[in-house]
Amino acid sequence: MAIVGWNRGTVVEVNFTGILVMKILWALLPTILIALNAGELFAQEKFAGEFNGNLQIGKTHSHVFYFGKESGDTLVYFFETQSPVGKKIISICKRNKPCMGKAQLQIVKPIPKGIPESTSGTYKIISVSQVNGKR
């Protein structure tokens, strides 16, 4: 909607739709910024979960890679190879063999170099309470 008015002998057109949109965006700016930051805050939350897949061992980071045969989904659970968590997992599970367990998991961004992208989730293993593997 536009209104035409006089301003010292010239015609001035005011676009109220544009002004209304800008006011709405300006009012929503704090909410948008909080929402964008909430993703990063959520990404640091730890939770109890289970991991299952084949163990891949790397120099600095290793991971358990799960591939869903029916769905095609992939999940990656990674850890630092030389950490206490890494040493425990590697002492029980064998390279390229199935490995599973219960752990404290965390969604972390960015993913360390060398860890593959997944279609359904990438989690860091913070601690383990149970590990089982085929040797």
Is pLDDT at 120 greater than 80 in this prediction?
yes
**Are residue 35 and residue 77 in the same domain, yes or no?**
no
Q: Which of 86 and 34 is assigned the larger pLDDT?
A: 86
Residues 14 and 27 placed together within one structural domain of the fold: yes
Domain of 62, in residue numbers: 46-133
Is the domain of 37 the same as that of 50?
A: no
**CATH code (residue 103):** 2.40.50
Please tell me the predicted confidence (pLDDT) of residue 41: 47
pLDDT at 125 over 70: yes
The answer to whether residues 68 and 28 belong to one domain is: no
Looking at the predicted structure, is the pLDDT value of residue 92 above 50? yes
Please check whether residues 121 and 82 belong to one and the same domain: yes
CA distances from 6 to 1, 11, 15, 18 (A): 17, 5, 15, 20
- What pTM value is reported for the model? 0.67
Instruction: Tell which wins on pLDDT, 87 or 11.
Output: 87
**Cβ count within 10 A of residue 61:** 20
Domain count, the chain: 2
